[in-house]
Copies of this chain bind each other. A is one copy, B any other.
Amino acid sequence: MRISLIGAGRVAYHLAQVLSAQHEIVQIYSRTMDKAQQLAKQFQAQAITQSEELTANVDLVIIAVSDQSIASVIGQIHPYLPYSLIVHTSGSTHLDVLKKAHTRAGVFYPLQTFSLERDIDWQTTPLFIEATNEQDQILLLDLANSLSNRVYNYSSSQRLSLHLAAVFACNFSNYCYDMAKQVVDAEQVDFSLLYPLILETANKATQNDPCQMQTGPAMRGDQNILNIHQQMLQQSQRPDLAEVYAILSQQILQRHQPS
């Protein structure tokens, strides 16, 4: 396939690297000529900075830019690429964002952290693909299967729910650690005492249904401890922590102690 890349960041670099083994990288488009050239040189591609320079004679165009730029990028490039399949690589952007501007639209999303220093193990990286029409779906499926053993035909709403779930499982759990550290720091207690419990909790959640693994005073319906903790948080002038404690405890109670 003849493939062009929009963007010259980390995702574009790693995609160009793995795809150039079996495909031709035709153009690399970036707002910054330096960045475009740096990448283009490595993969014998043409560096461009204007959408008018885009060649229509490519099979696939991969948009690898920040989430919030995708809508404006598709608006700029689609008039110059009337025949190509255009995909984005974002976990949290609906297919519709491309589809509104371009008929042959798709998604090619790798669930992975990309850094310039480390190589990607593509074989174990989950790839999520989606397309507006069946032929493009098959094209992306073949491409994904040539890279990874973990390819998922997920709809936009499935992909977006995975991203939303990651906010709960990772961003919010990390904020729970942050709140815990603030609680112990205020009493000159060593946060590292909690490390074994933190790691054990995370490990258990990947081996069993986390609902079954729930422990603690709210899960037991231990109103005595819940009251003591609420008092401690109120006395320590932390209404923010008291609010989180109240809401999460109430929800855990309702989930595990149905009245």
Residue numbers of A with Cβ under 8 A of B are 67-68, 92, 111, 126, 152, 154, 157-158, 160-162, 164-181, 183-184, 186-195, 197-206, 209-211, 213-219, 222, 224-225, 228-229, 232-233, 240-241, 243-245, 247-248, 251-252, 254-255
Are the CB atoms of B193 and A160 closer together than 8 Å?
no
Are the CB atoms of A172 and B248 closer together than 8 Å?
yes
Are the CB atoms of A206 and B199 closer together than 8 Å?
yes
For A206, the chain B residues whose CB sits under 8 A away are 192, 195, 198-199
Q: Give the nearest-CB partner of A157 in chain B.
A: B187
Copies of this chain? 2
For A68, the chain B residues whose CB sits under 8 A away are 222, 224
Say whether, besides A188-B158, A193-B162, A173 and B171 are in contact (CB < 8 Å). no
Say whether, besides A198-B205, A206-B198, A211-B178, A232 and B160 are in contact (CB < 8 Å). yes
Q: Kindly provide the distance from the CB of A169 to the nearest chain B CB, expressed in whole angstroms.
A: 4
Are the CB atoms of B248 and A174 closer together than 8 Å?
no
6 contacts between A and B (CB under 8 A): A92-B225, A166-B194, A170-B201, A173-B198, A177-B210, A180-B210
For A224, the chain B residues whose CB sits under 8 A away are 67-68
For A202, the chain B residues whose CB sits under 8 A away are 173, 177, 198-199, 201-203
Say whether, besides A111-B193, A202-B202, A209-B181, A219 and B171 are in contact (CB < 8 Å). yes
Say whether, besides A186-B161, A193-B111, A171 and B214 are in contact (CB < 8 Å). yes
For A222, the chain B residues whose CB sits under 8 A away are 67-68
Q: Kindly provide the distance from the CB of A133 to the nearest chain B CB, expressed in whole angstroms.
A: 22
Q: Give the nearest-CB partner of A192 in chain B.
A: B206
**A197 CB contact (under 8 Å) in B170, B197, B204, B219:** B170
For A164, the chain B residues whose CB sits under 8 A away are 183, 229, 232-233
Q: Give the nearest-CB partner of A207 in chain B.
A: B195
Say whether, besides A203-B199, A244-B248, A229 and B171 are in contact (CB < 8 Å). no
CA distance A173 to B200 in the complex (A): 11
For A67, the chain B residues whose CB sits under 8 A away are 222, 224-225
For A240, the chain B residues whose CB sits under 8 A away are 251, 254
Are the CB atoms of B198 and A184 closer together than 8 Å?
no
For A167, the chain B residues whose CB sits under 8 A away are 216-217, 229, 245
CA distance A210 to B255 in the complex (A): 28
CA distance A177 to B235 in the complex (A): 29
